[in-house]
Amino acid sequence: MPEIIEPFRIKSVEPIRKTDRAERERLLAEAHWNAFLLEADDVLIDLLTDSGTSAMSAQQWGAIMVGDESYAGSRSFHRFESAVQKIFGFKHVIPTHQGRAAEKILCGLMLESGLAVPNNNHFDTTRANVEFTGAEAVDLVTEEGKDPDSLHPFKGNIDIEKLKAWLAANRGNAPFGMLTITNNAGGGQPVSMKNIRETSEAYKAAGIPFIIDACRFAENAWFIKTREPGYANKTPLEIAQEMFSYADGATMSLKKDGMGNIGGFLALNSDELAEKARSVLILTEGFPTYGGLAGRDLEALAVGLEEVLDESYLEYRIASVKYLADGLQKIGVRIVQPAGGHAVFVDGAHLYPQIPKEQFPAQALVCQLYLEGGIRGVEIGSLMFGDKSQNELVRLALPRRVYTQAHVNYIIEVFEELWAERTNVSGLRLTKEAAVLRHFTAHLEPV
């Protein structure tokens, strides 16, 4: 088989700045050993998130020039609406400035204290929007999904038996049910078509609408094509259309598989709910034909949604994440297996067994990655979740179409250095923390 190459050539470049070790030591100390507090210009390779960091294509930039900025009835909205409807098939498409705005509108309309929403795993903002109403966010991912070493092909699946039992025990308490594809909080793991269908049946039997968190739907479609029997000869578009045919609506952050730098939507089949959502939208986001976005954004997103389903793009995308995962595993670094769609999750506690949980082994890895190579990842462990944390992970999220294979080789080389030096690293202690979401602003220092 010939090498899977980047299926694009580069037309416009953005320089990245190399710093030396002494400079990085000063910069990290000034940032209080918290990578969120670094200036982006001081980072060489930024793997903090795949959200809003995609490179747009020449076609997307071209579409930007024809954006219609009319307040109402914009031509760009209709292009956007038909691009979304072609893939997702829902009757109503309500644009929002990003994914969490769609979540906020849906949760605000349907939830209150005493109610609950089941999901495989709620992403942080989804959980926060559910909990903000006083309702409970219930995670029902399968046992394989919780086991970092399991090689199950669909570790994002919801546990259907648990879901049915939960729905039976909570009749009347769940106004809607969700499924996140891919499952970001569970390691970017995919959900099978069978699981989507069975989830739909369970929600239907319970008489509640089924809403998909669709952020990384194209990556999920590719995993179905390559891993689930019966889908090898279907196109990613056909697979996506089938996935959403089982649902009643979706929340979407177009900053991921919309290939945009900003954008989102709430899509619904219910006329009644859509009407209520549009009324809130006017209060919080804007008129229903732009919803917090410029016409030019809507144009670029319409093109991005088409490009993200291109087979050579998806083959390259999933292969590049796997390439990083394989490189790290060869060194001996423990990762959540198999590689996810958008990121590799590295086990900081395995790399630094000498650092106790209270001294944030995964945050120590975030800091070492920066000191050694100017690379920025994000801690998903005790610093983020406190005592509730199950694992001490660092997420290395790959922005779409941004870094080349040479960049990934460099990341692997930096890990080789970290592996060789792993016994010399000590932990961190907090010197300042906020009451909520402390990882964003916390100050730390080496122990």
Residues within the interface to ligand F0G (CB under 6 A): 49, 51, 98-100, 123, 125-126, 180, 184, 213, 215, 253, 255, 264
C-beta separation of 301 from 260 below 8 A:
yes
Sign of CA dihedral 121, 125, 126, 130: positive
The dihedral formed by the CA atoms of 437, 341, 219 and 100, expressed in degrees to the nearest 10: 0
Between 100 and 225, name the residue whose CB sits nearer to ligand F0G. Answer: 100
CB of 99 to ligand F0G, least distance (A): 3
DSSP state at residue 291 = T
**Alpha-carbon gap, residue 196 to 236, rounded angstroms:** 16
Between 255 and 439, name the residue whose CB sits nearer to ligand F0G. Answer: 255
Between 106 and 215, name the residue whose CB sits nearer to ligand F0G. Answer: 215
Between 327 and 399, name the residue whose CB sits nearer to ligand F0G. Answer: 399
Which helix (H) or strand (E) segment is 371 a member of?
helix 361-373
CB of 164 to ligand F0G, least distance (A): 24
Between 121 and 200, name the residue whose CB sits nearer to ligand F0G. Answer: 121
Between 293 and 425, name the residue whose CB sits nearer to ligand F0G. Answer: 293
Look-up of token digits 């989830």: 199
Residues 6+ apart with CB under 8 A from 157: 120, 141, 142, 144, 145, 191, 192, 195
CB of 259 to ligand F0G, least distance (A): 13
CB of 102 to ligand F0G, least distance (A): 8
DSSP state at residue 435 = S
CB of 158 to ligand F0G, least distance (A): 14
Question: Would you state the structure tokens that stand for residue 178, as one six-digit string?
Answer: 């969700």
Most distant CA atoms of the chain, gap in Å: 62
Residue closest to ligand F0G when measured from CB atoms: 99
Strand partners, 56: none
